[in-house]
């Protein structure tokens, strides 16, 4: 409620440069108050003179947000890969690095990789070294967002309730924000490609199936942080199929990559690693193509319910199975447009992810930036200066 440093800053975040007089008029604050706030923001480097220092003639000096003031790290940890990136405060990726890495190696080894990757990226850009402001991390399991801990994650042995922020902060003394990987991908896709769309659902289809739900521009985590758990919704066609979660009939048990690989094997095709099914689809193997189309229809059954309940305007399909081609999305559309309400589907698009492999790190960086540039954080930093 009080006059905050962030009040002046919020105006400048759109990137448009403004004079002190304009800022005073727009905020209704006294010139002296605006000057005090700007001094604090400039000492933090978040606001800088725009267009260089003037020499004579005293034109009105413009001030602007400086997205290069700090960098953040965005970390995307999948079941079998890890990507780390540095981004500026606009979320632009400055450098990134990917390795194959099994999340089941446990927190010590995986978070050790995270530390090394950030050090290495900062080392490639020594000018950014002192400026790391925060770290965002996406984990492939349910995360208690308030504490940054994974809770009963099915594919992450050794991670249950592990203090991820505490571990990472031993190496980097900055805020560490942790969320579920699909939530983070939803933030990344929206940040990079759908900034003006307020109701976006991002679906990841890979080893598992999950959704990140953004409604009214806000990521929906739900009461316990488990919102968007699409993979364990019941689908009648799978009623007899057991899921690793202990239930029967879960979407994931019939439509994720392991289930598809099993179906293609049953048809007599040799598949040594489950993920080869993606290449088989792209190569036009008829069994694989048919299996992916059916997975799209099964996913469509659950997405039809999601469309009725959540009413998004864009559904983005991402994850490793999404790159297998149009069959998956065609199957989804077939069922969703048939099953959901006309008013809900009239303006609905179902599209492939454009952020692709960078959705995770972009979203993790966006999570870190949202924290660094939050009103509370800015006021706190301005007072500490």
Q: Which residues bind its own copies (CB under 8 A)?
A: 1-4, 7-8, 10-11, 26-29, 142, 151-152, 198-199, 211, 213, 215-216, 218, 220-230, 232-234, 236, 239, 245, 247, 301-302, 304-306, 308-313, 339-344, 346-348
Q: Are 195 and 311 in contact (CB under 8 A)?
A: no
What are phi and psi for residue 100, nearest 5 degrees?
-75, 130
Residue with tokens 């604050």: 29
317 contact partners, CB below 8 Å, separation of at least 6: 203, 205, 328, 329, 332, 350, 351, 352, 353
Comparing CB distances to its own copies, the nearer of 44 and 213 is 213
User: Among candidates 167, 157, 253, 240, which has minimal Cα distance to 208?
Assistant: 253
Comparing CB distances to its own copies, the nearer of 213 and 278 is 213
Residue 142 CB, nearest approach to its own copies (Å): 6
Comparing CB distances to its own copies, the nearer of 12 and 261 is 12
Comparing CB distances to its own copies, the nearer of 171 and 241 is 241
Comparing CB distances to its own copies, the nearer of 21 and 267 is 21
Residue 55 CB, nearest approach to its own copies (Å): 32
Residue 226 CB, nearest approach to its own copies (Å): 5
Residue 224 CB, nearest approach to its own copies (Å): 6
Comparing CB distances to its own copies, the nearer of 123 and 375 is 375
Comparing CB distances to its own copies, the nearer of 78 and 212 is 212
Integer CA distances (angstroms), 221 to 145, 163, 169, 226, 357, in order: 8, 20, 24, 6, 23
Q: Are 189 and 316 in contact (CB under 8 A)?
A: yes
Residue 81 CB, nearest approach to its own copies (Å): 25
Residue 9 CB, nearest approach to its own copies (Å): 9
By three-state DSSP, how is residue 271 classified?
coil
Residue 101 CB, nearest approach to its own copies (Å): 25
Interatomic CA distance for residues 144 and 224, integer angstroms: 7
The pairs formed by 286-289 with CB atoms below 8 angstroms and a separation of 24 or more are 287/263, 288/260, 288/264, 289/327
Interatomic CA distance for residues 363 and 74, integer angstroms: 7
Q: Are 243 and 208 in contact (CB under 8 A)?
A: no
Interatomic CA distance for residues 19 and 335, integer angstroms: 54
User: Among candidates 324, 370, 377, 368, which has minimal Cα distance to 84?
Assistant: 368
Residue 26 CB, nearest approach to its own copies (Å): 7
């Amino acid at each position: 409620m009080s006059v905050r440093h962030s009040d002046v800053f919020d105006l400048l975040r759109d990137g448009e440069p403004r004079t002190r007089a304009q800022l005073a008029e727009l905020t209704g604050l006294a010139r002296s108050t605006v000057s005090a706030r700007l001094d604090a923001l400039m000492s933090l480097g978040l606001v800088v003179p725009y267009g260089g220092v003037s020499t004579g003639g005293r034109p009105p000096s413009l001030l602007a947000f400086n997205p290069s003031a700090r960098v953040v790290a965005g970390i995307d940890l999948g079941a079998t890969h890890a990507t780390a990136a540095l981004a500026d405060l606009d979320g632009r990726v400055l450098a990134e690095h990917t390795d194959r890495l099994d999340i089941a190696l446990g927190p010590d080894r995986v978070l050790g990789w995270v530390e090394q990757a950030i050090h290495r990226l900062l080392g490639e850009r020594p000018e950014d070294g002192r400026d790391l402001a925060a770290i965002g991390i996406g984990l492939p399991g349910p995360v208690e967002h308030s504490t940054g801990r994974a809770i009963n994650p099915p594919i992450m042995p050794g991670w249950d309730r592990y203090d991820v922020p505490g571990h990472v902060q031993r190496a980097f003394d900055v805020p560490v924000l942790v969320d579920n990987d699909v939530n983070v991908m939803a933030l990344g896709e929206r940040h990079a490609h759908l900034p003006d769309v307020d109701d976006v659902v991002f679906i990841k289809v890979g080893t598992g199936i999950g959704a990140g739900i953004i409604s009214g521009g806000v990521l929906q985590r739900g009461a316990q942080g488990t919102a968007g758990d699409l993979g364990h919704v019941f689908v009648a066609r799978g009623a007899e199929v057991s899921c690793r979660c202990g239930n029967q009939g879960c979407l994931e048990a019939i439509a994720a990559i392991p289930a598809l690989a099993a179906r293609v094997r049953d048809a007599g095709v040799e598949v040594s690693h489950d993920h080869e099914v993606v290449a088989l689809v792209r190569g036009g193997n008829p069994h694989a193509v048919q299996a992916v189309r059916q997975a799209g229809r099964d996913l469509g059954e659950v997405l039809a319910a999601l469309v009725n309940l959540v009413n998004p305007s864009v559904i983005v399909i991402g994850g490793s199975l999404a790159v297998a081609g149009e069959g998956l999305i065609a199957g989804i559309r077939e069922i969703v447009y048939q099953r959901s309400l006309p008013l809900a589907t009239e303006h609905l698009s179902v599209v492939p992810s454009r952020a692709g492999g960078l959705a995770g790190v972009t979203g993790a960086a966006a999570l870190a930036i949202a924290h660094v540039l939050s009103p509370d954080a800015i006021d706190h930093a301005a007072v500490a200066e």
